[in-house]
Structures are given as structure tokens and as C-alpha cells.
């Protein structure tokens, strides 16, 4: 796959499932806009690093469960 974003390239799921899976396995980033995940931030339009949220799952909002 050329330098394309998963957020904008919805056809990849139907045309090249193996390439799509290669980009989403072991994700490190999540798109703040659409919620897609990827292992490289360049594949998403608004990437956020997933590890940023692992300690505090819901920043700014504390609940009994921690979620």
C-alpha cells in the first residue's frame, strides 16, 4: 500500500485484506476522528498513541471502575 491513510481508504478492506491486517495488527495508535487503529501513526488522519491511555483509561474523568 502506498502512503495512504486507513481513515480515507475504506476500499482496502475489500481489495487487499492482507495489507489491511498488516497495518492494524499490534496497533500502537488510534485515530481520534474515526476510531481506526494502526501500527504506524502515518496511516491515520488524527493519530493518538495508545500507550498514553493505558494507565488512565479515561483522562479527565474518574469513575469507580477506572474506566
- pLDDT score of 8: 78
What digits encode the pLDDT tens for the residues 12-28?
A: 888 888 988 998 999 99
**pTM as predicted:** 0.66
Beta carbons within 10 angstroms of residue 31's beta carbon: 19
Give dist(CA 58, CA 45) in Å, integer.
21
The grid cell for 48 is 493518538
Tell me if 51 sits within 8 A of 13, measured CB to CB: no
**Where along the chain do its domains lie?**
12-54
- Whether the pLDDT of residue 43 is over 60: the answer is yes
Task: Give the residue-averaged pLDDT of 21-48.
Answer: 92
- Whether the pLDDT of residue 65 is over 80: the answer is no
Of residues 11 and 55, more confidently modeled = 11
The grid cell for 61 is 474523568
Numbers of helices and strands, H then E, in the chain: 3, 3
Amino acid at each position: 500500500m502506498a502512503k495512504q491513510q486507513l481513515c480515507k481508504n475504506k476500499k482496502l478492506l475489500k481489495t487487499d485484506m492482507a495489507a489491511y491486517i498488516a497495518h492494524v495488527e499490534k496497533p500502537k495508535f488510534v485515530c481520534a476522528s474515526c476510531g481506526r487503529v494502526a501500527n504506524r501513526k502515518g496511516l491515520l488522519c488524527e493519530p493518538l498513541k495508545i500507550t498514553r491511555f493505558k494507565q488512565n483509561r479515561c483522562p479527565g474523568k474518574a469513575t469507580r471502575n477506572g474506566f
